[in-house]
Amino acid sequence: MAFATQLANEAQPEKYRESYEALKDYCESQGAAGYEHPFLWETLADFTEDDRAAIPLYLKALDKASWPDAHAYRASIRFALAERYRRTGEPERAREYAIAADDDARQIDDRQLRRRIGAFLRERE
């Protein structure tokens, strides 16, 4: 969480890159130690500026969110994937992930996320 706060508040590009690399190193070291929580990879993806580079990180996070009650993680990750795919010019994949995110979001009590997903699905390219 400290890395995310630092990245969210960083205005200098060089400091941002340093903080991003520190977060990336942390995620990789946690993975090497056998602790690969989806939150880590989703957070790294969230702060990845390049959409195409973020997608594999979100997919890794999604893979780690495999337990039955991980609906909140999957909804968030899938919605982020939908947004990234839309920005990369892949509207079909974006819609596919948005629908899957909506399905997961129906299993949790997060009305704000459901509204955001619904608005996304109603938008046209």
Along the 125 residues of the chain, how does pLDDT read in single tens digits?
Answer: 788 888 998 889 999 999 999 999 999 999 999 998 999 999 999 999 999 999 999 999 999 999 999 999 999 999 999 999 999 999 999 999 999 999 999 999 999 999 999 999 999 75
State the pLDDT at residue 13.
Answer: 92
State the pLDDT at residue 3.
Answer: 82
Distances (CA, A) of 15 to 7, 19, 33, 37, 53: 9, 6, 27, 26, 20
State the pLDDT at residue 125.
Answer: 55
Contact 11, 20 (CB under 8 A): no
Please give the model's pTM, rounded to 2 decimal places: 0.92
State the pLDDT at residue 1.
Answer: 77
State the pLDDT at residue 4.
Answer: 83
Rounded to the nearest 5 percent, the helix, strand and coil shares of the chain are 75, 0, 25
